[in-house]
Structure 1
Amino acid sequence: MKILLVGEYSRLHNSLKEGLHQLGHEVTIMGNKDDFKNYPVDIYINHSFQKGFLKKIKIGIYKFTSLDLGSIEIYFKAKFQLKKLEHFDIVQLINESPLLIEASFEKRFIKKLIKQSDTLFVLSTGSDHLNINYLIKNKLKYSILTPYFENPSLKRNYLFDFKYLNSGFKDLHHFIYNHCNGVIATDVDYHIPLRGHKKYLGLIPNPINIELIEYKPLKFSSKLKIFHGVNKHSMLKKGNKFFDEALKIIEQKYANKVEITTTYNIPYEEYIKYYDDCHILLDQVYAYDQGYNALEAMAKGKVVFTGAEQEWLDNYNLKEDTVAINALPDVDSIVKKLEWLILNPHKIIEISKNARAFIEKEHDYKKIANLYVKTWSL
């Protein structure tokens, strides 16, 4: 088949592309490179107003006319690229807003996509209208919106997420759901809001290219190494503050036993090198399931503090803290689990092996690519 994957978050579409290639399909990725993470794409689409004088012009024109020059430029670049591409058997959007532009221009772009393809699928793998509309009702014990519920003055930190509730993105959502062949969730966090929806095709776990990620049995020399990689743009929504506070306590109490490394906003290729020799990786708190950073670290055999809630345990028939450590929005809880591992290093070895085995069983990129092909063919 000839497949177009539009948009890229966290290397999901790249890993899927690699799996689809193994199955003999022709795959093209169109999109930006997810900001500083700089993921590979085949057709790079972005605007010229990123910084300096051009950025000031963009802001000024938007302020007085409500015209977003960045959205307009990206739309016409994407439209031009589509003209050069032939018909696709499958088009899949990484999100309801795969180009990260204004809803009206996303809609115009997706209309053109529909004309050039037999089928259109959309992933729920980040903030979108249905997901945020569910989370805003505050039904879960915690979510990325928990800091906002606790302190509404933080609303400006959620402008990106809350935009999906405005009329333009609501209209875009309904347009996509009316014209797509189905919606796929990539983990439990996105599965929960979609349960029972007529367009929902089910959860397909994130694909991980285990052939590119070497499993390294953990070894202990002098100190236990803990890595905390922070994305400043999403640190509030991921609950990194709980890790920061827990690490201060651990560093004071076990200075002679641990070595702690914290990084901020580093590109993907650098990020994976930074944590290469760590034993424990601190990923995120406000989640029920693992995102890409956690999964790739687990594939390397790291013990990852991340989303590993009961719903995730039930989905994969696992026991608590055997494959990944469920990180709760509670400093004392995180400290206790870190202490448990520091004082019981044999558990680190055990969880490390389990983590790699889990990724091989549930997230292997070729198996996942095959699941996508089967789902697209339903």
Structure 2
Amino acid sequence: MKILLIGEYSRLHNSLKEGLIALGHEVTIAGSGDYFKKYPVDIHFEIKYTKGIMLFVKKVLFRLFKIDITSLHIKKQFNSHKEKFKNYDVVQLINEKAFGTYAKTEIQLLKFVFEHNKNVYLLSCGADYTNVKFANKNKLRYSILTPYEANKEKSNEFLYILDYLSNPYKELHGFVYKNIKGVIASDIDYHLPLQENKLYLGLIPNPINTEKLKYIEPKTEGKIIIFHGINEHNYYKKGNDIFEASLKIIQEKYSEKIEVITTRSLPYDTYINMFNSAHIILDQVYSYDQGFNALEAMAKGKVVFTGAEQEWLDFYGLQKDTVCINALPDAKYIAEKLEWLILNPEKITEISKHARAFVEKEHLYTTIAEKYIKTWSPK
């Protein structure tokens, strides 16, 4: 099949592409590469006006005239590539806002995609109208909106998330759902809000290319190395403030037994190798399942603090603390779990092996690609 994947978050579409190519399909990815992360794409959209004086000009123009010059620049690039967006057997959008433009522009671009391709599917991955509305109604024990609700003076970081509840994005949501064949969830966080949706086709786990991720057997004779990779754009949303508070507790108690590595907003190719020496990875707090970065770290044999709630345990038939550690929004709790691992290093080795085996069993990129092909195929 000839397949177009629009948008890229956390390397999901790249790993899926690799799996699909291994099965004999022709695959093209279009997108920006997710800003500073710089993931590979075949049709590249440059994102301009994001810093300096032009960012200021952009904000003024949007405030006065509701004109988003970044969106207009992406639209101009799209128009120069129009022929590359026609006549695919399958098109998948990584998100309702797959091109990353303002809602009005997104509808214009997607209209062309829908008019020239019969089988377009939506992946629920990242914030969208459905899951933000679900979180806003407090239907979960905690969500990506929990830190906003607890401390609203930090609202600037959440403005783009809350935008999904505005009328323009509600209109975009309706337009997308009127034109897609179905929607697929990439993990439990997106599965829970979709369960009553008539277009929901089910959860297909994130594809991980384990051939590119070598398992690193942990050596626990010396210091335990803890890695904390911070994305400054999502500092509170990912719970980095809670991780830093837990690290302060554990450093005061076990400074001679641990080493902490902290990085900020690294490109993907740098980030994926920065934590090779680490035993423990601090990934994210407000999630029920693992995102892509967590799964890649698990594939390398790291003990990852991430989403691993009961809903996820039930889905995969697992016991807690066997393949990763559930990172609750509680610094004291996280510090206690870190202490447990520091004092029981054999647990690091045990969880490391289970983590790799879990990814190979449930997330192998070729097996996941087969699940996508089956889901996309006409019934």
User: TM-score with structure 2 length normalisation?
Assistant: 0.97
The equivalences for 1:170-249 within 5 A come to 170-249=170-249
Question: Post-superposition shift, 1:83?
Answer: 2.0
Q: Which amino acid is 1:105 matched to?
A: T
Q: Which amino acid is 1:233 matched to?
A: H
CA pair 213-47 structure 1, distance change in 2 beyond 3 A: closer
| Equivalent in the alignment of 2:139 | 139
Gaps of 5+ in 2: none
Q: C-alpha offsets along residues 229-266 of structure 1, whole Å, 9 cap, x if unaligned?
A: 11111110111111111111111111111111111111
Q: Which amino acid is 2:213 matched to?
A: I
Matched residue SS, 1:262: strand
1:245 & 1:234 partners in 2: Cα distance? 17
1:226 & 1:16 partners in 2: Cα distance? 29
Matched residue SS, 2:232: coil
CA pair 335-84 structure 1, distance change in 2 beyond 3 A: closer
Comparing 74-83 and 53-62, the one that deviates more: 53-62
| Equivalent in the alignment of 1:311 | 311
User: TM-score with structure 1 length normalisation?
Assistant: 0.97
User: Does residue 343 of the first structure (1) align with residue 343 of the second (2)?
Assistant: yes
The equivalences for 1:1-378 within 5 A come to 1-377=1-377, 378=379
2:184 & 2:342 partners in 1: Cα distance? 39
Give the paired residue count.
Answer: 378
Comparing 83-92 and 232-241, the one that deviates more: 83-92
Q: C-alpha offsets along residues 252-295 of structure 1, whole Å, 9 cap, x if unaligned?
A: 11111111111111111111111011001010111100001100
CA pair 52-149 structure 1, distance change in 2 beyond 3 A: closer
1:266 & 1:157 partners in 2: Cα distance? 19
Q: Which runs of 4+ in 1 moved over 3 A?
A: 50-57
CA pair 216-114 structure 1, distance change in 2 beyond 3 A: same
Q: Which amino acid is 2:34 matched to?
A: D
Q: C-alpha offsets along residues 120-171 of structure 1, whole Å, 9 cap, x if unaligned?
A: 1011111000110110011211111101221233333211111111111101
Matched residue SS, 1:118: coil
Matched residue SS, 1:236: coil
Q: C-alpha offsets along residues 297-340 of structure 1, whole Å, 9 cap, x if unaligned?
A: 00000000000000000000000000000011111111111111
Q: Which amino acid is 1:171 matched to?
A: E
Comparing 260-269 and 292-301, the one that deviates more: 260-269
1:59 & 1:233 partners in 2: Cα distance? 17
1:270 & 1:140 partners in 2: Cα distance? 34
Identity of matched residues, %: 54
CA pair 115-148 structure 1, distance change in 2 beyond 3 A: same
2:84 & 2:296 partners in 1: Cα distance? 35
2:54 & 2:214 partners in 1: Cα distance? 43
2:185 & 2:9 partners in 1: Cα distance? 14
Question: Post-superposition shift, 1:53?
Answer: 4.5
1:302 & 1:257 partners in 2: Cα distance? 18
